[in-house]
Amino acid sequence: MHIGDLITHHARYRPQHEAIVFGETRLTYDAFNRRVNRLANAMQELGIEKGQKVATLLPNCLELLDIYWAAAKTGAVLVPLSPMLLGAGLASLLGDSDAVLLFTNNALRSVVDEVRPGLERLGENRIVLVDGAAPGYADYASFTNTSEIEPRISELSADDIYNIMYTSGTTGLPKGIVHTHQIRANYCTLMANAFRIGPESIVLHTGSIVFNGAFTTLMPCFYKGATYILHPQFDVEALIDTIKRDKVTHTMMVPSQIIAMMASPRFNPEEMQSLQMILSLGAPLHNEHKNALNAYLPGRFYELYGLTEGFVTILDRDDAIRKQGSVGVPPPFSDMRIELENGEIAGPNQIGEIVGRSPLLMPGYFKRPDLTAQAMQGGWLRTGDLGYTDEDGYLYLVDRKKEMIDSGGVKIYPRDIEDIMVRHPDVQEVAVFGVPHDKWGETPLAAVVLKPSRNVTAEEIKEWTNLRVSARYQRVSDVVIMDAFPRNAAGKTLKRELRDAYWRGTDGKI
């Protein structure tokens, strides 16, 4: 069994039910299935076989959904890449993933052109533009001018790979998280149950669907044959209008989007009563905002803590007030424990590392058994995050991964930026960490120690760095020059002290 059967199933048994809304386009399951089949047949005619990697460099669009489900039907492995990637990051991930087909658009063609000479696997007709033609590129409309019948069904098993999700746009050590058809099927069932998604639900998604958080509502929606409304990008006014017009029942947002929604002058809870779920994930939502949301729209707030690697906890809407501050409990068939530094299992209210296992757990990082062995031990995932449980087993986060920054739901790894900054001829040491940001939740800031007798300015280092990072979201917001870093007894730089010192400064400097 494989998840590609889902669209075929709904096209057969509820063909006229609305499947997708994107802008002015509304597609039934029958119409969407025919679109997916055209693409699936085109991929097979090109020679794309089961297990071969198909990458996307696209913003939200109908074609991106076509690709997701055509890959599912044919056994191709989906590799969704962030459209914010710059040349070096794109080349690194396309190379690491072994991609043999790439879908992109004209707006991102210059990024592809920059690295195309080094993309040996992506020859003629292997890079497809979804929005028109250009010399040296295949045109999506012509590419998909094929049969609408069901494609040849590969011999797919539940353990075959469906996708590789990259956690960051690094040029050093990319981490591609592998998900099988079975894992994505488990997303379908577990999330549909947790969020009370049914066949008549109307699910709105306003953020990018190339990040794993999107799959927490995308998969259960298509599993149930519900309606999926996709926006090109987050727009608070469009979100409010869509909820009101289409009677949206379920939506997922990162905290900055929830805050923007409530701050809009057009926000009117009375016009949003159709909502049954507002899911917050990707970064912590502060309690003051939770209180406001629960007051405006009571009984609708859910929160999810999780890792793309495959462990999650969910705070149910019925526990949102009773267990405020918690990120909930693992869903059924999952398990969690808190481990102390000495390896013992923590009791209630004891802080330690969050370790979990679940049916969502990845088989490993793509081509990185060394990193897999570090992250997974005995079937348990070591999250690297600190937390504790109360007497009822509800999880409370104390700190996220020490090195990770959550910016608008995008995970940024400071080392990726640090590895670039230390190449600056005047920089001796660098420490990148996250600081609060009104819009994005967090933004990266860099503290540097200069080599002796160097007098480069912070602004010059910032500009130098931001020209060289792999993706736009890795650009540092500020650079602070220091004489020395605070360290512990082992000589390790104490980033938390750097972060705290930054906000103690009356002028916003360390």
**Distance of CA 47 to CAs 74, 153, 164, 367, Å?**
11, 14, 20, 24
State how far the Cα of 382 lies from the Cα of 293, in Å rounded to an integer: 32
End-to-end alpha-carbon separation of the chain, Å?
Answer: 56
Scored b (16 or more CB within 10 A) or e, 16-47 reads ebbbbbbeeeebbbbbbbebbbbbbbbbbeee
HSE of 324 in the Cβ direction (CA atoms, 13 Å)? 12
Residue-range domains of the chain with CATH: 5-10+27-179 (3.40.50.980), 405-504 (3.30.300.30)
Q: What is the pLDDT of residue 504?
A: 66
pLDDT in tens, the chain (510 residues): 789 999 999 999 999 999 999 999 999 999 999 999 999 999 999 999 999 999 999 999 999 999 999 999 999 999 999 998 888 889 999 999 999 999 999 999 999 999 998 888 898 789 999 999 999 999 999 999 999 999 987 789 999 999 999 985 333 467 999 999 999 999 999 999 999 999 999 999 999 999 999 999 999 999 999 999 999 999 999 999 999 999 999 999 988 789 889 889 999 999 999 999 999 998 767 777 888 999 999 999 999 999 999 999 999 999 999 999 899 999 999 999 999 989 999 999 998 999 999 999 999 999 999 999 999 999 999 998 888 999 999 999 876 656 678 888 887 878 788 888 988 989 878 889 888 888 888 899 999 989 888 889 999 999 999 999 988 889 999 999 998 888 654 345 777 788 877 766 644 455
State how far the Cα of 254 lies from the Cα of 100, in Å rounded to an integer: 33
Sheet harboring 441-450: ordered strands across? 427-437, 441-450, 478-482
Asked if 179 contacts 165 with a C-beta cutoff of 8 angstroms, the reply is: yes
The neighbour count for residue 270, using CB atoms within 10 Å, is 7
Asked if 226 contacts 197 with a C-beta cutoff of 8 angstroms, the reply is: yes
Q: What is the pLDDT of residue 238?
A: 97
Q: Which of 460, 457, 446 is nearest to 509 (CA)?
A: 446
Contacts of 338 (CB under 8 A, 6+ apart): 345, 346, 350, 351, 352, 353, 354, 355, 387, 388, 389
Residue with tokens 């001829």: 425
Residue with tokens 């052109």: 113
State how far the Cα of 449 lies from the Cα of 295, in Å rounded to an integer: 47
